[in-house]
Amino acid sequence: MAKAKDFFSLIKFSHTVFALPFAIIGFCLGVKESSFFSAEYFWILFAKVLICMITARTAAMAFNRYIDRRFDALNPRTAIREIPSKKISPNQALWLTILSSLVLIATTFFINKICFYLSPIALFVTLGYSYTKRFTALCHLILGIGLSLAPVGAYLAVVGHFDIIPVVFGVLVIFWVSGFDMLYALQDEDFDKTNKLFSIPVAIGRKNTLLLSVAFHLISIGCVLCNGYLGNFGLWYWIGAALFSSLLIYQHLILSPKDISRINLAFATLNGISSIIFASFFLIDFLF
For 232: left if phi > 0, alpha if psi spans -120 to 50, otherwise beta; the answer is left
Please tell me the predicted confidence (pLDDT) of residue 213.
97
| 35 burial via Cβ count (<10 Å: 0-12, 13-18, 19+) | exposed
DSSP-derived letter for residue 256 is B
pLDDT band at 13 (very low <50, low <70, confident <90, very high): low
The CB-based long-range contact list for 78-81 (8 Å cut-off, 24+ gap) reads: 81/10
Please tell me the predicted confidence (pLDDT) of residue 8.
78
Terminal Cα distance for the chain, rounded: 49
Handedness of CA 226, 238, 236, 25 (dihedral sign): positive
Domain membership of residue 109 as a residue range: 4-287
> What are the tens digits of pLDDT across the range 74-107?
999 999 999 999 999 999 999 999 999 999 999 9
Please tell me the predicted confidence (pLDDT) of residue 96.
96
- Which of the residue ranges 15-19, 90-94, 283-287 would you say has the lowest mean pLDDT? 15-19
Provide the whole-model pTM.
Answer: 0.95
- Asked if the model's pLDDT at residue 116 lies above 80, the reply is yes
pLDDT band at 10 (very low <50, low <70, confident <90, very high): confident
Q: Tally the domains of the chain.
A: 1
DSSP-derived letter for residue 3 is -
CATH of the domain at 240: 1.10.357.140
